[in-house]
């Protein structure tokens, strides 16, 4: 809507997990490195937590892009709120497993067969559960624990990656056998002031900006208003570009940011 006015090729601040706009802050780089380590060294299970809007889902998509199809069989569960049996059925579906029955025994047998087949072909199986804090059925956590029993003598047959808000730590902590099997953990936090400025400029550059649309002196205000949360940064900057276009502004200055921020309260 405003791209042509600002000389952009695409909207730079969409709140979707587009890996093309994945900004590697020091934290995101470390989080991605830990998840890749868990996958490539068959660590069994890894947990990445972060507050709302800090980029967990985008990081999960960036992780998938790092996993070559010929080497990794990846399943992604984005809605884990379903009960235990339906959850197992969803795992099979996301891994492309055809199962003629929705009984627990049949679903687990089909999954085990796929894991063994992948291992024989030199492929690793990875299951990513996004929004894992939304799990409400205790049986689902038990199923996740049971998945880690799929092992050979020398390795796990499945790497489980949980992406969630911090409250999941208490939920998992009540299940000692699952908690103890999580080998890799990382907490993704909001961006600091310098990272926020880099984040805004990075996304504008990726969207085709040829000039400084947000003056350097205005960027600290973006951080103050957003508290460094990428999702809020995106919303604020998107609205600033929209309002700036409507008012025929030459840049998004501090006055424009304050005006837009006041409407978001």
User: Tokens 């998004």 — which residue?
Assistant: 252
The tens digit of pLDDT for each residue in 201-251 reads 999 999 999 999 999 999 999 999 999 999 999 999 999 999 999 999 999
The length of the chain in residues reads 265
Q: Which whole number is the average pLDDT over 196-205?
A: 97
Q: What is the pLDDT of residue 192?
A: 96
Q: What is the pLDDT of residue 151?
A: 87
Cα–Cα dist 60/105, whole Å: 30
Q: What is the pLDDT of residue 110?
A: 94
26-188 classified as CATH 3.10.450.50 = no
The tens digit of pLDDT for each residue in 126-152 reads 999 999 999 988 889 988 998 998 988
The tens digit of pLDDT for each residue in 28-48 reads 999 999 999 999 999 999 999
Q: Is the pLDDT of residue 121 over 80?
A: yes
pLDDT confidence of 84, banded at 50, 70, 90?
Answer: confident
Considering only residues 83 and 165, tell me which one the structure prediction assigns the higher pLDDT. 165
Q: What angle do CA 88, 90, 93 make, to 5 degrees?
A: 115
Q: Which of 52, 35, 15, 250 is nearest to 161 (CA)?
A: 35
Strand partners, 187: 49
Stated pTM of the model: 0.91
Q: Which of 220, 223, 255, 224 is nearest to 240 (CA)?
A: 255
DSSP line for 135-165: ---HHHHHHHHHHTT-B-SSSBSEEEEEEE-
- Residue 58 has which token pair? 């985008």
Q: What is the pLDDT of residue 153?
A: 76
CATH number listed for the domain at residues 3-14+192-263? 1.10.8
| Residue boundaries of the structural domains of the chain | 3-14+192-263, 26-188
């Amino acid at each position: 809507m405003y791209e042509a006015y600002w000389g952009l090729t695409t909207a730079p601040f969409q709140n979707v997990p587009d890996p093309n706009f994945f900004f590697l802050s020091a934290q995101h780089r470390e989080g991605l490195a830990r998840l890749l380590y868990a996958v490539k060294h068959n660590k069994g299970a890894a947990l990445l937590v972060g507050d709302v809007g800090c980029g967990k889902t985008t990081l999960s998509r960036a992780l998938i892009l790092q996993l070559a199809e010929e080497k990794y069989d990846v399943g992604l569960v984005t809605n884990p709120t379903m009960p235990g049996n339906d959850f197992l059925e969803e795992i099979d579906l996301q891994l492309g497993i055809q199962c003629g029955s929705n009984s627990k025994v049949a679903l687990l047998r089909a999954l085990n067969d796929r894991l063994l087949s992948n291992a024989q072909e030199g492929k690793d199986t990875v299951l990513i559960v996004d929004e894992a804090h939304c799990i409400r059925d205790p049986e689902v956590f038990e199923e996740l624990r049971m998945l880690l029993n799929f092992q050979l003598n020398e390795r796990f047959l499945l790497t489980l990656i949980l992406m969630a808000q911090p409250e999941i730590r208490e939920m998992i902590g009540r299940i000692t056998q699952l908690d103890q099997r999580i080998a890799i953990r990382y907490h993704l936090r909001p961006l600091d002031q310098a990272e926020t400025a880099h984040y805004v400029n990075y996304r504008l550059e990726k969207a085709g900006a040829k000039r400084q649309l947000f003056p350097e002196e205005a960027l600290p205000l973006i951080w103050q208003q957003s508290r460094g949360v990428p999702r809020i940064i995106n919303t604020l900057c998107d609205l600033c570009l929209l309002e700036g276009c409507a008012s025929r502004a030459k840049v998004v200055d501090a006055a424009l940011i304050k005006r837009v921020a006041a409407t978001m309260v």
